[in-house]
Amino acid sequence: MRRRGILAVVSGFSGAGKGTLMKNLLKQYGNYALSISMTTRLPREGEEDGREYFFVSKEIFEEKVERNGFIEYACYCDNYYGTPREYVEYQLDMGKDVLLEIEIQGALKVKEKFPEALLLFVMPPSAKELKNRLTGRGTETPDVVSKRLNRAILEAQGIENYDYIVINDDLEICTQELHSIINTAHKSVRRNEEFIENMRQELNVLVKGEK
């Protein structure tokens, strides 16, 4: 019996370290598949089409919306971002734990459509450290940094919708914590109904056979 993968949604303020954590998880453990989103934002220096994102025009993005090609999409700081449907469904069927690194509006839509999804929120150790990381990354103008920090205030209001928070202070510890939460979720009674039912039947057969 192949266990079905877990759909793990990872959100967090811009600069909290989500991208870094995802790379670390993929590098250290074998059972993850990271969904690559489609976006209308421009690539940052060093980003490659098909690796960090599929970078597309607004027209192409809207066409895919029309064709129901996303499991969710949202507008974030003036750009569209969406999760392509096919890859996610295929990898879950293959038993992979699928990571969606998405913002909060998208996360809530995923929870509506996939109630069994696991929602994780990455926190920085402090607000000051968040600003340091966001500016230290050096990829956004001061204006965009300020927009993203303002957005963090809004996002902080929605954290109660998530299942767990992880604090990204030490990267290695945080990576292990994320992995351990996802692994523990595989053990939940809800996710093991088939195994439990088989055991009930086996017990019945065994006891009846011994009479």
Interface residues with ligand ADP (CB under 6 A) are: 12, 14-20, 133, 136-137, 168, 171
Burial label for 203, CB within 10 Å (0-12, 13-18, 19+), is exposed
**What is the four-CA torsion angle of 36, 41, 44, 47, rounded to 10 degrees?**
20
What count of Cα atoms within 13 Å lies in the side-chain half-sphere of residue 136?
Answer: 9
Segment near ligand 5GP (CB under 6 A); pick from 67-75, 86-94, 128-136, 194-202: 67-75
- Rule CB under 6 A: is residue 101 a binding residue for ligand 5GP? yes
Residues forming beta bridges with residue 37, ordered by sequence position: 53
**Residue 76 interacting partner from ligand 5GP, ligand ADP, none (CB closer than 5 to 8 Å by kind):** ligand 5GP
User: Does the protein bind ligand 5GP through residue 121 (CB under 6 A)?
Assistant: no
Question: Distance between CA atoms of 107 and 87, rounded to whole angstroms?
Answer: 17
Interface with ligand 5GP (CB under 6 A), residue from 21, 22, 24, 76: 76
- DSSP assigned state of 117: -
Sheet holding 32-34, edge to edge: 32-34, 97-101, 7-12, 118-123, 164-167
* Binding partner selected for residue 5 from ligand 5GP, ligand ADP, none, CB under the kind-specific 5 to 8 Å limit: none
Three-state secondary-structure class, residue 49: strand
Question: Residue 134: how many CB atoms within 10 A of its CB?
Answer: 22
User: Binding to ligand 5GP by residue 41, rule CB under 6 A?
Assistant: yes
The nearest distance, CB 32 to ligand ADP, in angstroms, is 16
Contacting ligand 5GP (CB under 6 A), which of 21, 25, 34, 81? Answer: 81
The site partner of 41 among ligand ADP, ligand 5GP, none (C-beta below 5 to 8 Å per kind) is ligand 5GP
Token pair belonging to 14: 């811009």
Q: Where are the alpha helices (DSSP H) in 79-170?
A: 85-93, 104-113, 127-137, 142-156
Q: Which is nearer to ligand 5GP, 65 or 192 (CB)?
A: 65
**Candidate ranges 58-66, 69-77, 114-122, 172-180; the one touching ligand 5GP (CB under 6 A):** 69-77
Assign 209 to helix, strand or coil.
Answer: helix
Q: Which is nearer to ligand ADP, 9 or 64 (CB)?
A: 9
Q: Which does 133 bind (CB under 5 to 8 A by kind): ligand ADP, ligand 5GP, none?
A: ligand ADP
Tell me which residues touch ligand 5GP (CB under 6 A): 14, 18, 37, 41, 72-74, 76, 81-83, 101-103, 105-106
